Amino acid sequence: MIKFDDLGPEKLIEVYDPKLQLHGFLVIDNTILGPAKGGLRITPTVTLEEVARLARIMTYKCALAELPFGGGKSGIRADTKKISREQKFELIRAFARSIKSLSPSEYIAGPDVGTGEAEMAEFIKANGSKKSATGKPLKMGGLPHELGSTGFGIAQAALVATQFLKIPIKGAKVAIGGFGNVGQFAAKYLFQLGAKIVAVSDSAGTIYNPTGVDVKKLLKVKEKTGSVTKYQNGQVFGGGEIFFLPSDILIPAALGDVITAKNVDKVRAKIIVEGANLPVTEAAEEILYKRGVLAVPDFVANAGGVISSYAEYRGYNPKQMFEEVSRKVVKNTKLVLEKSKKEKITPQAAALKIALERLKAKEK
Ligand code: NAD
């Protein structure tokens, strides 16, 4: 059920073309701060409801990051493992044409699950305006997701959280659930900060080595074989086990709703940095808070991607973009954790309060 409240959603659009087998969704949640910003995801299961939930997260994320963007999201239902690259591009172009009257004026696309710089290039070609999507290739004047802004921001948020709990980042044990764009760069940057990556999962399973994996080697294994489970030096578990292995910092970086009231008691980490959108349910957030586990909310920790979109919009270079991601994510993570401590509310509730205050201030 899609909920309507005083923020939105302003527009819900579903497009269908039986000839092309295109089934797409666009939700413009709120445009108080500017055109709605949010990624285009391609998965076999995406629904209008899922897109609406994610669009709302984008409204909060942009408000919290003090960006001149509203919240939106779009999706195409397709199984990219079963169609060719050209068929996928055709779906993107058809979708871009069908929502052209709203983009870039009210909606600006970006990469998400199943899309990257090449897909954004196709979206722009069909739309006709370079302003209709961010995350485009460098040669088109873009700052592609492939630079790793979100994973970089996750590492920065994790660093702030460790400082907050006075845990040294050097040697801190990290478990990362999902080894795509977010997970890989989070691993790379946390490794650079001296953390020990002890567990990593992807859709094939989990690799665990309590003494730490070599991230560079793991990246190569993933690229060559398609799965982290082929990394020779460690124990292999099922994908879901990653959340319950011993670690200091747990980063769910793949799917939503993976930590729930039902399984949260098995989580052993001291810090959770939410890389994916909505990976921890509200009920689980409450339980974690009562147990003293610090959970940095998704729309605080994973804002690097949309901050990079803003940097691209402003014509920044990659160095300026990384500086902006670091500045905003560090500032907001500190603000949220301090507010949570002071007001004795979950970090999620604290972040929501700040985002809503920023939205209301603009409304006046
Ligand atoms: P991606 O498609 O690049 O990677 C997804 C990863 O999840 C892959 O490694 C895949 O193997 C893994 N995965 C899929 N099913 C799994 C399962 N059952 N168990 C374990 N792993 C599984 O996607 P991404 O861009 O890294 O995005 C990941 C999450 O982060 C999504 O929820 C996305 O909405 C969110 N997010 C991404 C960005 C970004 O900039 N990429 C920004 C904000 C939020």
pLDDT digits (tens, 9 = 90+) for 233-266: 999 999 999 999 999 999 999 999 999 999 999 9
What are phi and psi for residue 296, nearest 5 degrees?
-85, 115
pLDDT greater than 80 at residue 85: yes
What is the structure's pLDDT at 145? Answer: 87
User: Is residue 201 within 6 Å of ligand 1 at its C-beta?
Assistant: yes
Q: How far apart are CA 232 and CA 207, in angstroms?
A: 9
Closest C-alpha residue for ligand 1 atom 43: 302
The mean pLDDT value for 287-304 works out to 97
Cα 55 from Cα 200, distance rounded (Å):
28
Given this model, what pLDDT does residue 363 score?
A: 75
Per residue in 102-150, pLDDT (tens digit) is 999 999 999 998 999 999 999 999 999 999 999 999 999 899 988 999 9
Which pLDDT value is given to residue 362?
A: 82
Query: How far away, in angstroms, is 362 Cα from ligand 1 center?
Result: 32
Ligand 1 atom closest to residue 54's alpha carbon, by position in its atom list: 34
Give me the residues paired with residue 11 across strands.
28
> What DSSP state is assigned to residue 145?
G
CA–centroid distance, 186 to ligand 1, in Å, is: 12
The finding on whether 112 has its CB within 6 A of some atom of ligand 1 is yes
Nearest to 10 by CA among 31, 38, 40: 31
Percent of the chain with pLDDT over 90: 96
309-313: average pLDDT: 93
Mean pLDDT of all residues in 61-76: 97
Q: Residue 310: its pLDDT value, please?
A: 95
* Cβ of residue 38 lying under 6 Å from some atom of ligand 1: no
Query: Letter for the amino acid at 191?
Result: F
Q: What is the mean pLDDT of the segment spanning 67-82?
A: 96
Residue 319: predicted pLDDT:
97
Reduced 3-state DSSP string for 202-227 = ECCEEEECCCCCCHHHHHHHHHHHCC
CA of 182 to the centre of ligand 1 (A): 6
* 178 within ligand 1 shell (Cβ under 6 A): yes
Q: What is the pLDDT of residue 51?
A: 97
Q: pLDDT at position 37, please? A: 98
Extract the tokens encoding 159. 């660093």
Averaged pLDDT, 64-70: 97
Ligand 1 atom, smallest distance to 183 CA? 26
Amino acid 196: pLDDT: 98
**Beta-carbon neighbour count of residue 132 at 10 Å?**
24
Catalogue the E-assigned strands of the chain.
11-17, 22-30, 36-37, 40-43, 70-77, 107-108, 173-177, 196-202, 205-208, 235-237, 249-252, 271-273, 294-296
- Which residues are within 8 A (CB) of 96 and not within 5 positions of it... i.e. 6 or more apart? 103, 109, 122, 123, 124, 126, 127, 132
> Which of 298, 348, 336 is closest to 154 using CA atoms?
298
Q: What is the pLDDT of residues 325-344, one digit of tens each?
A: 999 999 999 999 999 999 99
Q: Output the pLDDT for position 285.
A: 97
Asked if residue 221 has its Cβ within 6 Å of ligand 1, the reply is: no
Q: Is the CB of 281 under 6 A from ligand 1?
A: no
Q: What is the DSSP letter of 245?
A: S
| Mutation to probe ligand 1, out of 113, 228, 236, 274 (largest number of atoms < 8 A from CB) | 113
Three-state DSSP state, 354: helix
Site to substitute for ligand 1 among 176, 181, 244, most atoms within 8 A of C-beta = 181
Across the range 208-232, mean pLDDT stands at 97
Confidence check: pLDDT of 224 > 80: yes
Structure tokens at 344: 């004795």
Average pLDDT score over residue span 221-242: 96
**Per-residue pLDDT, 274:** 98
d(CA 118, CA 55): 23
Q: Concatenate the DSSP letters of all residues of 266-318 into one string.
A: G---SEEE--SSS-B-HHHHHHHHHHT-EEE-HHHHTTHHHHHHHHHHTT--H
Binding site membership of 110 for ligand 1 (Cβ less than 6 Å)? no
Q: How far apart are CA 67 and CA 80, in angstroms?
A: 32
- Residue whose C-alpha is closest to residue 152's, from 118, 117, 183: 183
266 is catalytic: no
